[in-house]
Amino acid sequence: MNKNYYAIIMAGGIGSRFWPISRTSHPKQFIDILGTGKTLIQNTYDRFLKICPKENIYVVTNEIYTDLVKKQLPDMGDDQILTEPVMRNTAPCIAYGSFRIESMNPDAAIVVAPSDHLILDEAAFVSAIEKSLKVATENNCLITLGIKPSRPDTGYGYIQYTDNSLENDFYKVKTFTEKPTLEIAKTFLQSGDFLWNAGIFVWSARAIVHAFNQYLPDMHEIFADSRPVYNTPEERNHIHKTYQQCTNISIDYGIMEKANNVYVLPSEFGWSDLGTWASIYDLAEKDYVGNAVIPAEKVIMYDSSNCMVNVPGEKLVILQGLHDFIVVEANNTLLICPRDQEQNVKKVVADVKQQFGTKYI
């Protein structure tokens, strides 16, 4: 296993679209949302154990989730859990992890991935990441993984690529497009040169530090100036103080859309970002009338079909005459809504917060 290979797991989100199961105090990355026996962050960590030494895996998360990370990933040392005092999107999170790794090992190659995605074909995933790490080590490039689209999905970002390739499999990126309309998504699919943006990145430590210097110089200055405190007792207080100065910006907007050395690896490894209850429904086992029930211990359904049901295992639930609905109960909260209106969940969360405060959020 290559000692220069590192992984950064981004685990700071609150997963509000999975409310009420996902709460601010216990968001979806720390939940076994598919009923597999492991939480999403545990599955992500296990995947990276096949790619790099366990001491080279880092989690960047909000400080309020430190204990959750320690509990769910007990093999991680305290120095591998990098905490953010506030949410500032993906660029500061990636800068913190990348600069810290670069300060310890300038020859490092780094893969950055969210903590809450599903990968069905782990062997194909490991192969794609290892191939990308090798190419990133040998070339001054920023690599992103693109997923071959199976439908004109409007919930994903899209990457357009050219015929110019690096080592045959990596194609020069032409454009990034965030969540297009259905008509535009259809044209993307028909053109054949667009991929879904998986939000998984690979680069050498040198390449990404240089990119921050070029495209986000203020952020570069913050984390470059922090080099003397990395791996010291002063690191946490220093980072928590300076983090407040970081711009709230994604790595896509801040660097990937501007840089001229971005390449994409078209990939197929059974990927889903598990962004909505619809994505969970699509992946879950269903009965003969299309009902997906997690867990299914004490749920009885009469004349009901195509429902997504997620309730506590000890709860007896009877549903009759319900079709195409989401039924979710957790944390003393019950949510029932049509599956085609699940995009309203974020608004519901905002309304609940306004009416009842943060007790149910």
pLDDT tens for 20-32 read: 999 988 999 999 9
* Domain residue ranges of the chain, discontinuous segments joined by +: 5-272, 277-356
Please provide the distance, in angstroms rounded to a whole number, between the alpha carbons at the two ends of the chain: 42
Say what the pTM is.
Answer: 0.93
Average pLDDT, the chain: 93
* Fold of the CATH domain 5-272: Spore Coat Polysaccharide Biosynthesis Protein SpsA; Chain A (3.90.550)
**Torsion 90-164-265-146 (CA) sign:** positive
151 pLDDT above the threshold of 90: no
Q: How far apart are CA 359 and CA 324, in angstroms?
A: 29
Structure confidence at residue 179 (pLDDT): 85
pLDDT tens, position by position, 286-316:
999 999 998 778 999 999 999 999 998 888 9
Average pLDDT over residues 136-152: 93
Burial category of 244 from C-beta neighbours within 10 Å (exposed 0-12, middle 13-18, buried 19 and up): exposed
Confidence of residue 4 (pLDDT cuts 50, 70, 90): very high
Contacts by 123-130, CB closer than 8 A, 24 or more apart: 124/267, 124/268, 124/269, 124/270, 125/47, 125/267, 125/269, 125/271, 126/47, 126/50, 126/51, 128/265, 128/267, 128/269, 129/51, 129/200, 129/202, 130/51
Structure confidence at residue 17 (pLDDT): 83
Counted residue by residue, the chain has a size of: 361
150 pLDDT above the threshold of 90: no
142 pLDDT above the threshold of 90: yes
Average pLDDT over residues 51-63: 97
Structure confidence at residue 262 (pLDDT): 96
Contact 116, 274 (CB under 8 A): yes
Task: Determine how β-strand 262-267 pairs with β-strand 142-147.
Answer: parallel
1 pLDDT above the threshold of 90: no
Phi-psi region of 37 (alpha: psi -120 to 50; beta: other; left: phi over 0): left
16 pLDDT above the threshold of 90: no
249 pLDDT above the threshold of 80: yes
Structure confidence at residue 36 (pLDDT): 84
